[in-house]
Structure formats: structure tokens, C-alpha cells
Amino acid sequence: MASIAWLWMYAGAALMLLELMAPGFVIFFFGLSAASVGLLKFALGPTLTPVWQAIAFSVFSILYLACLRRWLKSIFTGGKSEEGEDFDDGFAGRIGKTTADILPPQSGRVLLGDAEWDAVASSPLKAGTEVKVKSRKNLTLEVEAL
């Protein structure tokens, strides 16, 4: 049945478009898997039963996530955003103020603009100290006293 194949294709397209609204770059691969099952259904026709469609979807999803995610994510984000290298996100150089003591190796809190962030520093900083952001790794800022 070609209509089932088209349903897989539409589901794949919808999931890939949904990725535009969700962070993480994961849903895209489920959409790619659904589109792959749709193409497989077009090629094999009625011999691809619903059970085999579900198995193919699962296998494609695991393969695409395991093999393609890291490579495609680096292409779409323009660098290694998880490590904070090669990716200028605009945090470095900004000035903020500590709202909680930072006592290395423990993190503290920094007010940057209108948002509070977890922060680490190489030396102890008291609450109320003005700081400059050196870098960002995920949701934690590395700061130094001004």
C-alpha cells in the first residue's frame, strides 16, 4: 500500500520540522528514520509488514543517532559547542556580579544581565564581586574578578 508509505514520509517530514522548535538535535533523526521506512515501504510494497516497519524504524533510529548525530550537529552548529571550543556564543567578556560565593572547586552563582548562571572560578570570590566571563561550558560560566 502506497498510502502507508506516504504516512511514513509525512511523519518523517513533520518530525524533521519539529526539530526546528526543539533543542538537542535528536528528533531530526527519528524523522529521518521514518522517511527511510517510507522509502523502504515504497520499494518493498506489501512484503514490509507493520512489524517489520516498526523494527526497521527502531534500527534506523539507533543507527542514525549513533552514527550521524555528532557529525551533523557539528555541521549545523558551526563548531564543537558541547566543549565550548570554536563556538563564540557571545558570553566571553561580559560583565556580571556574583550572587553567591564561589569557593573552588565548588560553583557559585553569577547575575549576568537579567539571568542567574552557575559559575566557577580559579580563586574564591565573595557574593557581590564584579566578574568578567572567560568562557562558557554548557550552562556553567567560568569567571574571574575584575
Domains of the chain from N-terminus onward = 2-77 (no CATH), 95-145 (2.40.50.140)
Task: Give the C-alpha separation, 3 to 15, whole Å.
Answer: 18
Q: Which of 72, 132, 129 is nearest to 101 (CA)?
A: 129
pLDDT of residue 88: 52
Amino acid letter, 122: S
- Per-residue pLDDT tens over the stretch 87-134: 456 788 899 999 999 999 999 999 998 889 999 999 999 999 999 999
Grid cell for residue 88: 563564540
pLDDT of residue 85: 47
Task: Give the C-alpha separation, 106 to 14, whole Å.
Answer: 43
CA terminus-to-terminus distance, the chain = 68
pLDDT of residue 132: 94
Q: Which of 56, 22, 21 is nearest to 38 (CA)?
A: 56
Task: Give the C-alpha separation, 133 to 90, whole Å.
Answer: 10
Residues contacting residue 130 through CB under 8 Å, at least 6 positions apart? 95, 96, 97, 145, 146
- Per-residue pLDDT tens over the stretch 7-62: 999 999 999 899 888 767 788 889 999 999 999 999 998 899 999 999 999 999 99
pLDDT of residue 89: 65
pLDDT of residue 86: 44
